[in-house]
Each structure stands twice: as structure tokens, then as C-alpha cells.
Amino acid sequence: MTAHSPAPSSAPKPSAPAQAASAVTPMGWMHTARFLTTAAQLHHLPAMDTPEIAFVGRSNAGKSTCINTLTQKKQLAFASKKPGRTQHINLFALGKQGVTDAVLADLPGYGYAAVAKMDKLRWQQVMANYLVSRENLTGIVMMCDPRHGLTELDDILLEVIRPRVEQGLKFLIILTKADKLTRSEQAKALSIARLQAGGGEVKLFSALKKQGVDEVAQLLWDWTHPAGAAASAAPAAEPPEEEPEALDE
């Protein structure tokens, strides 16, 4: 750390950067998401020191829709579903003015029956290695369709990450498609998932009703900007409107 002497009182106030920082809102920040790179194997991922948040979940849990809703970009995570990329880790950069201050890692959905067994095993290995050894990994977001609850593969993944969560890795279970549940079903799903989250957080989320979107964006911001509470203090700016995706009614 370099010691700075206090600015003389006649010096102009450094208000511009401070104002720019306080104008950042979690939703505006999420909207800066842009495709960074894709990798089929761990050693093909660039080593980074930017905080990284991994999105994992069973195939069809609503992960792509959730990422697209959070980033307000209709197609962003569907890039991960393009032929040739379905078994890849896709990285998206976040940060204003092209400066990357966090990375989202979209991991392929697991449990898809049509994938050949060898491919599944290979993929599970890549994913486990990533979750255990990615050094800049700051948090994991697990998507779960509360109508099915956590599946066996979700439980295996929870076991894999448990030691890192105990060491302080952030963890969030998102209960997707909450619009398909009644209020009492939502409350029940929340309390069950809280027991399973092992100290992590749980949030209800609906892309259709925009439920939980701001809260999740705020949490991801807090995870990746632990010292800067600027976004929480900033007035909420309206995110740019985009056409809603076609969702299951």
C-alpha cells in the first residue's frame, strides 16, 4: 500500500469518480454482461484474479432464463446452448466501461438424459475439478426447480463444494419458476431448501413475474464488491427494457 498525503483543501474535490461509482446499480452492472470465452476443459480457461460466480443446475432448471433475466439480455446464456458449447464452461464479463470487475461462469446443465454416459462422466469430472480448484471462484449459484426439489446430482454437487463453502465460498440456491407455486408452496420450498443449503442463502425467483431479480443482483454485487456498499446506497435506476422471453405458463 502506498501512503497518500491528504489533499490540500484548495485541491479540486475528486467528485467525478465517486459519483460514477455511486451511480452503479446492481441491475445496471448485471446488464454490462458480455461473452468472454468458452472452454471445454479446465486448463483452457484463462487464469483470472477477478471474482467469479458459477451458475450450476440440472438441465431445464431455468438457469439460462435466470442468467438472461438478471443480465436483461435475451440471448446471453442461450449462447451456452449452441451446438458445440453445451458441454463447455462459458464465461461472461461484468463491469462498467469495459473494465471487468466480475465474471459469471455458466456451467452446462447436468442430468440431461440424452447425453451419452461417457460424456456425462467426463463432464462431471470437469465440473467437479472446476468447482474444487478454480482459484478466483467467489460464489456458486445453484438453480433448482422447486417442484422437483434438489435431485441426486444436486446433492453430489453440494458434497463436492461443501468444504469450500465451509471455508467461506459464497453459496446461493435459487428456486426458479416460483410463479408456478402458490404462496404456501413457496414458503414450504424455501424452508426445505434452507435446511439443505448448509449455511448458504436461498431465494425464490421468477423470470416471468420478475420476482427475486433485484435481490439476486444485489447479492451478486455484494459478493464481488465486499468493500463497496455504493450500489446499495444508489437510487435504483430503471434497467433497459427488453422483450420478455417466451416462458412456460
What is the spatial distance between Cα 86 and Cα 114, in angstroms, rounded to a whole number? Answer: 12
DSSP code, position 42: G
Q: Distance of CA 118 to CAs 73, 114, 125, 229, Å?
A: 33, 12, 11, 46
Q: Determine which residue in the list 39, 40, 128, 247 makes contact with ligand GDP, applying CB under 6 A.
A: 247
One-letter amino acid identity for 155? D
Measured from the CB atom, is 143 or 161 closer to ligand GDP?
143
User: Considering only residues 98-117, where is the footprint of ligand GDP by CB under 6 A?
Assistant: 109
At 208, list the grid cell: 416471468
Task: Show the binding pattern over residues 135-154: x = contacts ligand GDP (CB under 6 A), - = does not.
Answer: --------x-----------
Q: How many residues touch ligand GDP (CB under 6 A)?
A: 19
User: Considering only residues 169-228, where is the footprint of ligand GDP by CB under 6 A?
Assistant: 176-177, 179-180, 206-208
What is the spatial distance between Cα 206 and Cα 232, in angstroms, rounded to a whole number? Answer: 22
The residue whose grid cell reads 453440494 is 158
User: Considering only residues 49-78, where is the footprint of ligand GDP by CB under 6 A?
Assistant: 57, 59-65
Q: In the complex, what is the shortest distance from the CB of residue 55 to ligand GDP, in angstroms, rounded to a whole number?
A: 9
Q: In the complex, what is the shortest distance from the CB of residue 20 to ligand GDP, in angstroms, rounded to a whole number?
A: 33
Backbone phi, then psi, for 9, in 5-degree steps?
-65, -20
Contact positions vs ligand GDP (CB under 6 A): 57, 59-65, 109, 143, 176-177, 179-180, 206-208, 247-248
